[in-house]
Chains A and B, each alone.
Chain A
Amino acid sequence: MVDIEGCKGCGVCVPACPTDVIALAKEVNGKGYPYAFMANPEACTGCTNCSIVCPDGVITVYRVKINE
């Protein structure tokens, strides 16, 4: 979950993701920054890499264990 209005579009989260989940949108938020979003949500493992590297702390991560 990205706080879209808080995101400054720095893009540091993008290379941090091990499974290429996150990308910068083509659209911009209210401040004119292209915000980060889950381009590939299925691949997210909830590793929190993106959230811990975000300078503005705008990413919140939830994880659910799927019991097969």
Chain B
Amino acid sequence: MAEINIQDIIKPENLVYKKTRLMTDKTLSYCPGCGHGTAHRLIMEVIEEMGKEHDTIGVAPVGCSVLAYEFMNIDMQEAAHGRAPALATGIKRLWPDKVVFTYQGDGDLAAIGTGETIHACNRGENIVIVFINNGIYGMTGGQMAPTTLVGMKTSTTPYGRDVAQMGNPLKITELVAQLPGTYYVTRQAVHTPSAVRKAKRAIRKAFENQVNKKPGLSFVEVVSNCNSGWKMTPVDSNIWMEENMFPFYNLGDIKVDGKLIEK
């Protein structure tokens, strides 16, 4: 085999992958291994590839990703907890040709923001909602979320989530898929290369739906790890996620082009 100097390889013309310039240079405030970073990057890659960086407005939530606007290099608004879909509605209704998306966690979207989520979906707002579901409230220290699994231990369910006390985990994604106002509903992950590639395709599809003015909202759930909240290493948390979260939160498309997928 011919000897190649590493300097010969590291040249601009040989570049195969580099973090998109639509991610700022700021170090992400997320824990090592957290899916937020990957999810942010995929959305920004899609926006860059679609050439929409000058036409996109993102709405950040309250949660670990409250600082999303520091990392996504586009015009961004910070919403009150749970209200992002309302902000997005206000923007999109008055700037129908811009690309508008919300980026929300499980508390933001499925607890305090349930009303705003359901009604934006019901009205069929032509926006993209990216829903990061890690079954826990990361930023505030690891409390139970509506999507916390039965038996899962969190700082407010130290003995495991008890259905009799707190009800079952809320599959909000399946709920909104029932509404005629949602056009594309899918559940993805970003913990392995193949999951990342599928997730990116899904995100791309969601944004294309918006740009092509398909009738309805595109809702992309990303099941993610929270190694800090779950008290595991990043690699272990991804394995735990595969073994526990995915059997309940099934990955894959739930609704495409306005039609529910038959299981």
A–B contact via C-beta, under 8 angstroms: yes
**Which A residues form the contact surface with B (CB < 8 A)?**
1, 6, 8-12, 14-16, 33, 41, 46-64, 66
B192 close to A16 (CB less than 8 A): yes
Query: Known contacts A53-B38, A64-B8; is A8 also within 8 Å of B33 by CB?
Result: yes
Whether a CB of chain A sits under 8 angstroms from the CB of B261 is no
A52 close to B193 (CB less than 8 A): yes
A55 close to B17 (CB less than 8 A): no
Question: In the complex, which residue of chain B has the Cβ closest to the Cβ of A41?
Answer: B6
Question: Which residue from B1, B2, B20, B35 sits with its C-beta under 8 Å from A55?
Answer: B35
Binary contact track B148-191/A, C-beta < 8 Å → 1, others 0: 00000000000000000000000000000000000000000011
Whether a CB of chain A sits under 8 angstroms from the CB of B263 is no
28 contacts between A and B (CB under 8 A): A6-B27, A8-B31, A8-B32, A10-B32, A10-B227, A11-B33, A12-B235, A33-B32, A41-B6, A48-B17, A51-B18, A52-B38, A52-B193, A53-B190, A55-B35, A55-B37, A57-B19, A58-B19, A60-B15, A60-B17, A60-B18, A61-B15, A61-B17, A62-B9, A62-B10, A62-B11, A64-B8, A66-B2
Residue in A6, A47, A62, A63 with the greatest tally of chain B CB atoms within 10 Å = A62
Cα(A14)–Cα(B17), bound, Å: 17
Question: In the complex, which residue of chain A has the Cβ closest to the Cβ of B236?
Answer: A11
Q: How far is the CB of A18 from chain B (nearest CB, A)?
A: 9
Question: In the complex, which residue of chain B has the Cβ closest to the Cβ of A62?
Answer: B14
A54 close to B235 (CB less than 8 A): no
Question: Which residue from A57, A60, A63 sits with its C-beta under 8 Å from B37?
Answer: A57
A62 close to B16 (CB less than 8 A): yes
Question: In the complex, which residue of chain A has the Cβ closest to the Cβ of B44?
Answer: A57
Question: In the complex, which residue of chain B has the Cβ closest to the Cβ of A51?
Answer: B17
Question: In the complex, which residue of chain B has the Cβ closest to the Cβ of A48?
Answer: B17
Q: Name the 10 nearest CB pairs between A and B, nearest first.
A: A55-B37, A10-B33, A57-B19, A8-B32, A10-B32, A49-B193, A10-B234, A61-B17, A48-B17, A62-B14
B197 close to A57 (CB less than 8 A): no
Residues of chain B within 8 A of A8, CB atoms compared: 31-33
Query: Known contacts A11-B33, A12-B191; is A55 also within 8 Å of B14 by CB?
Result: no
